[in-house]
Chains A and B, each alone.
Chain A
Amino acid sequence: YAWDANEEYLFKAMVAFALRRYSSKSTTQISNVLLCNVTDRVSFWFVVTDSSKNVTTVPGSEVEAAIRMNRNRINSAFLLSDKTLQFLKITSTLSPPVEPSTPVWLIVFGVVLCLIVAGIFFLVVAGVQQRKKKNKQSTERENLEEKGEVAVTVENGIPCETLDLKAGHINGVFAADDERFTSL
């Protein structure tokens, strides 16, 4: 927006408002604030006169303190920030950065660690189970070989006895039809 007489009026009003709030006397008027040396850069000097004591200006420290207290309101009136609206000799106090109670990175770390530990646990347990199954199979085969001197026939790594008894279907077409077989 362009800087014109209306904006200057608003500025005078804000300074008066700041002084009123700071010193809590309601005698400061907009006409007490005087602007001078306005340049195209939009920079100027201003003084605040005190109407109760004739032709004297409010001391600079008081004005500085008043503006510092109400800096936020003055900034937002002009839609500017501490960087874009600069009062010479008034430095802004810095607000501390927002710090959450638990640092965010710790939360993320916790999630990652839980996933990793779950993965390791799962893999180790699966490996142990697989090893137990392999051991059981090899001891079963050894036991069968010991009991009968019959050689254990193996089909695809599975002993034939187990194939007959436990798994697999008996195909009725081939098993039941005895007449098909030629007699010896």
Chain B
Amino acid sequence: LSVPPEIPKEDGRPKWDNKFQYILSCIGFAVGLGNVWRFPYLCQIHGGGAFLIPYFIALLFEGIPLLHLELALGQCLRKGSIGAWNAISPYLGGVGVGSWMVSVLVSLYYNTVLTWVMWYFINSFQEPLPWSVCPLNENRTGLNEECYESTTVNYFWYRKTLNITPDVTESGTLQWWLILCLAACWAIVYLCTIRGIETTGKAIYVTAIFPYLVLTIFLIHGLTLPGATDGLAYLFTPNLNTLKNPRVWLDAATQIFFSLSLAFGGLIAFSSYNPQKNDCEKDAVTVAIVNSMTSLYASIPVFSVLGFKATTGYWDCLDRNIISIINEFDLPEESIMRQNYTAWISFLNSSYPEKIAGLKLKSCDLQEFLDQSVSGTGLAFIIFTQAIILMPGSQAWAILFFIMLFSLGLSSMFGNIEGVFTPLLELPMISKSIPKELLSGIICLICFLIALCFTLGSGSYWIDIFDSYAGSLPLLVIAFFEVIGVAYVYKIKRFSKDVKWMTGRKPNLYWQITWRFISPLLLLIVFVTFVTLQIQKPSSYAAWNPKHEGFPMKEEKVYPPWVLAICVLLAVLPCVFVPLVALFHLIKRMCRNKDPSFVPPAVFSCQGANS
């Protein structure tokens, strides 16, 4: 096995082996963990099938135009995010630096989520699964108290995996098992991105296609589980009344935006390795549609399994009530079944009301079980793991599920790391002296060392902070400036000519209108609404505190001021580069204006780059 020598274009830039690799990389970047654990949750809480209406409207007017813009930009300018925006206009260089900064911040915490997935994966080889049994307490008289009060899966997640502290200010200690898994995860990322797209291009064949296989297997298995139809009906029954709530439209717009991984700089990096004569319009539409279809496709097995879990919980509740009634009234076994439970209850209530009241039966309601909606890590590590215990052959399902999550996250990590790697590779001082392997090694090592703070006891609280503040607001700002920059600084006429040169046809009216007016307006509205909603509710978090009275419910706590300062810093830091760089160039130009020998830089054009 020898590595084939790269055949570079005239400018020495590496390129994709074939078009399919490029499309697969973009799809892998866009399709991530959010498609599995955020979209079904949003569908559920916002009225099921009715959520698809604002979702597709947002896709049409915000997602696809921005995606086309980024892909066309990267393809035309053949540079990473920093170089590309510097080429558009030096005043807009801050946009590129901002995207680079966001990619760095997101890479840090995203790989820690993959660490958790890996930890669950290597624990899935045991029989019985470690999250299905409670350990004993010290004197072996009963089960561990924390585990007994909450559930076994909660205990395994909060205690055995995270070893979580009750407060974000208490850092706790470094968890050595998480450090091992973190090192392994960063080693895998290094292995796959060691030479940039040469190596990720090979790895993406596996990591982008494998999740679809597993989703199909889960789909088929999930549909055969009892209670699956209840879950699916619950998910898809449209409730058009929810459309009156502006929160639904906001969630749809933000979901589309973050789901397509816009404004990270990774898409610009990917398309910069393309040949210039490539139909980026078709690529953009393909990637966006595949991403949305994957979200829909993934929500079916997720909700079948959730329906199964709710039904099993409901049956357990009924069975416990039935046992206590049978014990109390000394009735023969199997006289009360689930089917005639309600008839028996009404009969017994009318004849012996005091006895029934004395039993303190819990009211079992299937809707209540179905209503327990969770998104994010709770869905994967608590709800799904609980459902997996109930399935026969749980080890195999657990292993499949966690490998699927790992590949979904890994393909998104490739895009994040490319967004960091490509602009660095283009900096003149770095590209000459450092070989690619060393640069990617240095990036992975530095990220690993910084990410060690997420393996502390309070690590998961910090990841929530990073996710809500670094991975949300700055992206909106950067995307807004991207659209404004291309539409009004670079001018849409020039951009349309460039796109026509690349794809062979002029962008039609839809693109013109969305790029010029609709997308910037939509982004502005989303940004303002997002900020107002964030400011209105005081930022709080839910802490896991075993000593709390309401345990096993989580304790609502407020962030202390220094943590809030960090949140604001995370949100503002990438955005602040936009005005800073513009100011810097303005000052430089004012100094230069006094110099008579100054020649203004040549106007950049797409066609000019190739000659």
Contact = CB atoms under 8 A, between A and B. Distances in A.
Interface of A: 39-43, 93-94, 96-97, 104-105, 108-109, 112-113, 116-117, 119-120, 123-124, 126-127, 130-131, 134
Contact of B195 (A39, A97, A127): A127
Interface stretch (B136-144, B213-221, B310-318, B502-510): B136-144
Interface in B192-251: 194-195, 199
Given A94-B142, A120-B187, A127-B195, A104 B126 contact: yes
A108 B122 contact: yes
B2 interface: yes
B584 interface: no
Given A40-B332, A43-B330, A94 B140 contact: yes
B444 to A, nearest CB: 10
A51 to B, nearest CB: 31
Given A41-B332, A126-B2, A130-B5, A105 B123 contact: yes
Interface in B124-166: 125-126, 133, 135-136, 140-143
B331 interface: yes
Contacts of A97: 133, 135-136
B535 interface: no
Given A109-B180, A116-B188, A127-B3, A40 B194 contact: no
A177 B327 CA distance: 109
7 contacts: A40-B331, A41-B330, A94-B140, A108-B125, A109-B184, A116-B188, A127-B3
A41 B333 contact: yes
B184 A112 contact: yes
B330 A116 contact: no
Contacts of B123: 104-105
Contact of B184 (A40, A41, A43, A116): A116
Contacts of A113: 184, 187
Interface residues of B, number: 34
A123 B184 contact: no
A41 B327 contact: yes
Nearest to B177: A105
Contacts of B365: none
B326 A41 contact: yes
Contacts of B330: 39-41, 43
Nearest to B190: A120
Closest 9 pairs (CB-CB, A-B) = A40-B332, A39-B330, A108-B122, A41-B330, A105-B122, A116-B187, A104-B126, A105-B123, A126-B3
Contacts of A93: 140-141
Interface in B297-345: 326-327, 330-333
Interface of B: 2-3, 5, 118-119, 122-123, 125-126, 133, 135-136, 140-143, 180-181, 184, 187-188, 190-191, 194-195, 199, 326-327, 330-333, 435, 437
A96 B140 contact: yes
Contact of B126 (A42, A105, A112, A131): A105
A61 to B, nearest CB: 19
A91 to B, nearest CB: 9
A119 B327 contact: no
Given A40-B330, A109-B181, A123-B3, 4 more contacts: A40-B332, A104-B125, A113-B184, A120-B194
A40 B199 CA distance: 71
Nearest to A130: B3
Nearest to A100: B126
Contacts of A117: 187
Contacts of A43: 327, 330
A105 B435 CA distance: 36
B14 to A, nearest CB: 13
Contacts of B118: 112
B199 to A, nearest CB: 7
Contact of A123 (B142, B199, B332, B435): B199
A47 B183 CA distance: 64
B242 to A, nearest CB: 43
A39 B333 CA distance: 11
Contact of B191 (A104, A120, A131): A120
A114 to B, nearest CB: 11
A94 B188 CA distance: 42
A164 B244 CA distance: 80
Contact of B136 (A42, A96, A124): A96
Contacts of B122: 105, 108-109, 112
A107 to B, nearest CB: 8
B5 A41 contact: no
A105 B140 CA distance: 24
A109 B184 CA distance: 9
Contact of B437 (A39, A40, A41, A124): A124
A139 B326 CA distance: 91
Contacts of B143: 94
Given A41-B330, A94-B140, A119 B191 contact: yes
B441 to A, nearest CB: 9
Contacts of A120: 187, 190-191, 194
Given A41-B327, A94-B142, A105-B126, A116 B2 contact: no
Contacts of A40: 330-332
A178 to B, nearest CB: 40
A41 B122 CA distance: 46
